[in-house]
Structure 1
Amino acid sequence: MLPISKSAFPTFPPFPDDFATHPLVIVDYELIKAGDKDEIEQLWKAATELGFWYLKNHGVEQEANNMFDMGRETMDLPLEEKMKYEQGDGGSSFGYKARGQVATDAMGTRDNIEFINVAKDDALAWPKQAHRSYPRTVNARMESTVVPFVRKSMEVNATLLDVFNEKLGLPEGALAKRHSVEEFSGSEARCTKSPPTPTETRLGIGAHTDFGSLSFLHNRLGGLQVLPPNSETWQYIKPIPGYAICNLGDAMAIFSGGILRSNIHRVCPPPGAQKHWERWSLVYFTRPGNSVNLHALVEESPLIADYVAKHPEGIHETGATSLEWFTRRIKNQRISNRKGPETWMASRGTEIRV
């Protein structure tokens, strides 16, 4: 059993006061679990207006700290060793991604981050292998660090999805069955490292919406930005110690017929003095099962059916499964697959309608 992390990260400079930030609704997870009606309305407000919110009292702070330690140990490995586990160009996200392998815009500008993605299916199957193998630093912490983080993150996201299920007027368990633990999916944990960027303007991750249903994010420094609805000005989301940042992805926007918002966002260099430090982030992505068809659930909810009838311009029928949607987006971001701006456009999700 590995020792509990006491935080391998130093005290970072504070987020500067002279940078524009976008305020987020603060949601108390303990109150959500208790069924507090006012708190549920706060969550619903956030999910329908911006699709981003802070989540406090989520109970995953120690597991997140341990995952950051795993991430640092993994990124400290020689590049040659990490590249043995590179995710490749076939459309899979699991494994290691080196810097510069992904386009951040239509011009093909390369990203400047590296990360390790561990599939939910591999974590839950451990010590068996569901999809692929991982670096030794991941394997050494799979049971003590990765699996606890994945399980707790799954629990948090499943609780929030149950709230959305009820608010959308769906039959009990409609969203849960589309996110079955037993079915293989693109759900994964990701730990990301960005280098210090004292003179860098290049994006870490280009403007995008998330591929799946719900993202549960832990940030150490600024860098995450959102483009609020009806605005042309990007604004930072300020990290708050102990608070996670949650946001909805394409699948929930599509399932809900557009009632729930999958908002466009990006990762840029941290502001102020923070740009002189390595930037670390950790996220768990909940995505639907691979075989789940992505379409508005109009036949299961009068609320969704009515909204779709009044907003026919939305993306209500993709003609794709979750796996197909996810694979297309991942594959067409890879630099090795690039043919031109059309490749970038082929990697887009619901942001093309934002």
Structure 2
Amino acid sequence: MTNPSSNPPFPPNLPLAPLTTISHSKLLSNDSIESSKLLSACKNQGFFHLDLRTTPQGATLLSQSSQLYNLAQSLFALPLETKQQFALQKGVSLFGYKPAGTVKTTDPSHRPDSTEFFNIGKDDLFFPTSPDTLATKYPSEITPSLPLLKSFTSNCHVLAMELLTLLAQELQLSSDTIFTDLNKFDQTSGDHIRLTHTIHTPNDNKLGLPSHTDFGTITILFNWQGGLQIESTTAPNQWEWVKPLPGHAIINLGDAMKIFTNGLLKSAKHRVVPLPDNQEKAMERYSVVYFVRPNDNVMMKAVDKFENDEIRVRVAGKFEPVLGGEGNSSSTGEVLTAGEWMVQRAVQLGN
């Protein structure tokens, strides 16, 4: 198996997204400056680098993500006909295999993507609906890695809850658990691990993943190669590269947090493009992602002091009131539950 640290270096002189780097150890030490940086990053960029190198929890996640990198290589090396046996059903199940070639409605040119992935559900790992749930949804090759998958899932969830608690504190909400109560581990949700594999063919017109926003609460990304771009906060429709940093996770908020805070916190548009320069010679890109999504019974609406605010969007660097929501209501105007909303968004986005 390829060691993820053996990838070619990220090329210089590319326009980089100005992401804040935040220390996990300082957050755990209740460093007020670091917590303030966290809130600022979530309000302005919606993305940040999280340095995990100096905490035992962070070191464990870094080690586990590298092991899952190797698992991804094994899974995606399976024959396509084998992987297709576990294909997720759009509008029915969010979990299983998605082949490359999906067209997202968010891409105006309707270009097929070049990324395949396996979504492995938190509930399937910890609270399966039947004894054969795992066997019917996922290849048997994941069986030896079940302890790893379960430990990584629970560790990522703990990390996400730490961040949500700090955000609630920084926002001076009525309770530190306002956000964590919407994302409880032991309740049914769309939380999942995603193992991704992108193959770039020279001179084709495909994107790894077309532009989109995530539609959960928090995304935790472990990525060793280039390819991720974020829409510029100062120049719409311009894209800036995210340089992977050794020992760091890339964290971003999803649309759920934008809804819960009525637009105060940012869910940034991003995409995956062909690997830059010398990294493109590797041709293949792997990443390990954990998505935290609200519990299925949560109502997708603003919470606490944001409930009576006008919905806001950023215009010319400032928040301005607008009419309408984030697709969080049905055709009759009823607010959707998170479970209903996740299915609706997955159908819209093509996965």
- Identify which of 152, 157, 181 aligns with 1:154: 157
Dislocated runs of 4+, deviation >4 Å? 126-132, 303-311
Shift of 1:324: 1.7
Given that 1:197 and 1:276 are in contact with CA atoms closer than 8 Å, whether structure 2 keeps it comes out as: no
Once the two structures are overlaid, the 10-residue window that deviates more, 57-66 or 206-215, is 57-66
- Identify which of 274, 282, 286 aligns with 2:288: 282
- Structure 2: 5+ residue runs without aligned partners? 53-57, 313-318, 330-334
Distance 1:93 1:176 in 2: 22
- Identify which of 228, 245, 249 aligns with 1:244: 249
Distance 1:312 1:80 in 2: 50
Given that 1:122 and 1:128 are in contact with CA atoms closer than 8 Å, whether structure 2 keeps it comes out as: no
TM-superposition CA deviations, 1:135-169 (whole Å, max 9, x none): 111122112x2111111111111100111122223
Distance 1:304 1:237 in 2: 34
Shift of 1:130: 6.0
- Identify which of 124, 127, 133 aligns with 2:126: 124
1:185 aligns with 2:189: yes
TM-superposition CA deviations, 1:186-235 (whole Å, max 9, x none): 11100101114433441111111101010000111111101122413111
Once the two structures are overlaid, the 10-residue window that deviates more, 166-175 or 101-110, is 101-110
TM-superposition CA deviations, 1:235-283 (whole Å, max 9, x none): 1111111111000000001101111100111111111111121111111
Aligned-partner residue type, residue 290 of structure 2: Y
1:50 aligns with 2:76: no
Matched residue, 2:179: 175
SS at match of 2:6: coil
SS at match of 1:215: strand
State the identity %. Answer: 31
SS at match of 1:244: strand
Distance 1:7 1:111 in 2: 24
Matched residue, 1:312: 321
Matched residue, 1:36: 31
Once the two structures are overlaid, the 10-residue window that deviates more, 99-108 or 152-161, is 99-108
1:325 aligns with 2:325: no
The within-5 A match list for 1:255-294 is: 255-277=260-282, 278-294=284-300
Change (3 A) 1:306 1:83: closer
Shift of 1:78: 1.2
TM-superposition CA deviations, 1:32-80 (whole Å, max 9, x none): 1121101101111101111100001233100101111111111111111
Distance 1:16 1:261 in 2: 28
Change (3 A) 1:10 1:182: closer
Matched residue, 1:203: 207
TM-superposition CA deviations, 1:276-332 (whole Å, max 9, x none): 2111111100000011111111xx22x664575985316376422212221112123
The within-5 A match list for 1:15-30 is: 15-30=10-25
Given that 1:201 and 1:268 are in contact with CA atoms closer than 8 Å, whether structure 2 keeps it comes out as: no
Given that 2:301 and 2:307 are in contact with CA atoms closer than 8 Å, whether structure 1 keeps it comes out as: no
SS at match of 1:332: helix
Change (3 A) 1:149 1:141: same
Distance 2:85 2:170 in 1: 45
Matched residue, 2:84: 83
Distance 2:190 2:203 in 1: 35
Distance 1:22 1:43 in 2: 16
SS at match of 2:125: helix
Q: Compute the TM-score of the two structures, normalised by the length of structure 1.
A: 0.86
Question: What is the Cα-based RMSD across aligned positions, in Å?
Answer: 2.3
- Structure 1: 5+ residue runs without aligned partners? 1-5, 336-354
Q: Compute the TM-score of the two structures, normalised by the length of structure 2.
A: 0.86
Matched residue, 1:351: none
- Identify which of 193, 217, 225 aligns with 1:221: 225
